[in-house]
Structure 1
Amino acid sequence: MPIDEDVTGEELDKDVKQELKSLPKTLAEDVARNLVMVARLLDEDPERAYAYAKVALRLASRVPSVREAAGFAAYAVEKYAEALAEFRAARRMTGLQHLWPVMADCERGLGRPEKALAMAGEPEVRQLDKAGQVEMRLVAAGARRDMGQADAAVVTLQSPELASTSVQPWTARLRYAYADALLEVGREDEAREWFAKALEADQSGVTDASDRLAELDGVEFIDALDGDKDGEDQADAEGTAGGSAGGSGRSGEGQASEG
């Protein structure tokens, strides 16, 4: 797999670089560059990110960060069984619990929401930081909705974090999920309020709260360039119709009157 010229491997977090020191220097550099490519492509081109992750995995399957990166790459392309296996391996290697929520979400992806919901009640959740606990709450609410328990999903998302006016990295997603759950149970006015709150907190554009608000307000956005093209196409069509009618020029009158 070709590596971008500007990638050195030094872009990785210091903890990951520390793990890679267990490898021979040249091998560590190769793995590091592949991991950087995974991170760079994960959002915009997950299929290519997955391919780079597989290369890193072949080179260094005993490095926890490599297993974790492979898990996220598989998760991004919806290979949930593979992702879950990689996350479990990384967790065994480190003894850390930060992957617990995404492991639960893999269970949802595999059609096992009951398992995901059970994981939300396990002791491992108490070992998560605040962001991890919020993520676990989001997964649990999703599992409730998967099981057709929309009202329970609303209740699951009601928490001190949701009520807080402090804006954290997870605030927009939590508010958005709550708004979406409210909408599913028919509480449209409240849903609109929470989509607006999600938009207010969404500084990096991680949600489409603005689109959801517009949809609730009955606003439809039209691409200006597409609109110009449609107008040209319509004018061409009308001109052609006028020509086929004998070129009397009445098509021009028709366009003017329609305008």
Structure 2
Amino acid sequence: MMSLPKTLAEDVAKNLVMVARLLDDDPQSAYGYAKVALRLASRVPSVREATGFAAYAVEKYAEALAEFRAARRMTGLQHLWPVMADCERGMGRPEKALAMAGEPEVQKLDKAGQVEMRLVAAGARRDMGQAEAAVVTLQSPELASNAQQPWTARLRYAYADALLEVGREGEAREWFAKALEADQSGATDASDRLAELDGVEFIDALDPEAEEDGNASPAAKEATPEESSRDAGAGE
């Protein structure tokens, strides 16, 4: 933003700060700030990129893709390639996303970008009903590595989810556990998925009905053998 007048640059920067601050918790507001920044400085690559991510967060995938393309034209950089492919998925074009995974641009990505592209490609396979192919797509040196990287939890989680879809529940549970082990920031709900596989039910402490159930006597919670027998017979 060095090319902007000082006052204008400050206004744009303030809006971009709000986009970054709100993107995860209040994406709709972040999108509003991004649109203001775009109106003020549409020729600044960082503004186009921020607007793209804000649009992506509120599922305006066509708009996000247009902004990412604009930012890429301005900079010549390839780091937005995976999220551009994911926008194609969002618009219901998984075949296009899968084609992008095989383009030369992928080789220009850093390791994090290549892992992200693999995640998008696996998602596209699942969109197309190719669940087994999604499992194979995620099998990679990065998945096998014991090193903890920023993408490790998400990659393991995606692999576990793909395994579950093809009926490999035991392996899925193992990989959800590995995802949880690597998920220091809470980026996934691996703990919930593990609990679900283990048949654990959580009670919302703020739910009055759940509280009433929790205060019920043991006799009310557990049916006697005779009652269980009657219940079983009732469905016959």
Is the TM-score greater than 0.5? yes
**1:61 CA drift (Å):** 0.2
Q: Which letter maps to 2:15?
A: N
Distance apart, 1:258 and its partner CA: 5.2
**2:21 is the counterpart of 1:40:** yes
Q: Please, what TM-score do these two structures have when normalized by structure 2?
A: 0.90
1:179 and 2:155 are equivalent in the alignment: no
State which of 91, 108, 114 in structure 1 corresponds to 2:72.
91
Match of 1:24 in 2: 5
Instruction: Letter of the 1:143 partner, please give it.
Output: A
Whether 2:186 is the aligned partner of 1:205: answer yes
Does the 8 Å contact 2:160/2:171 carry over to 1? yes
Tell me the SS of whatever aligns to 2:176.
Answer: helix
Change (3 A) 1:229 1:120: closer
1:99-124 deviation per Cα after TM superposition (whole angstroms, max 9, x unaligned):
00000000000000000000000000
Residue type of the partner of 2:63? E
Q: Is contact 2:61–2:90 with CA below 8 Å preserved after alignment?
A: yes
For 1:55 and 1:126, locate their aligned partners in 2 and report how far apart those are by CA, in whole Å. Answer: 35
Q: How many residues align?
A: 221
- Structure 2 residue matching 1:224: 3-state secondary structure: coil
Matches within 5 A, 1:68-217: 68-217=49-198
* Contiguous gaps of at least 5 residues in structure 1: 1-19, 236-254
1:220 matched to 2:201? The reply is yes
Q: Which amino acid aligns with 1:115?
A: K
Runs ≥4 in structure 1, deviation > 4 angstroms? 232-235, 255-259
Asked if the contact 2:205/2:211 (under 8 Å) is kept, the reply is no
Indicate the residue corresponding to 1:11 in structure 2. Answer: none
- Tell me the TM-score normalised to structure 1 length: 0.82
Q: Which residue of structure 1 lines up, in the alignment, with residue 229 of structure 2?
A: none
Q: Percent sequence identity over matched residues?
A: 86
C-alpha distance in structure 1 between counterparts of 2:66 and 2:219, whole Å: 67
Which structure's CA Rg is the greater one? 1
- C-alpha RMSD of matched pairs (Å): 1.9
Deviation, 1:228, is 7.8
> Unaligned 5+ residue runs, structure 2?
222-236
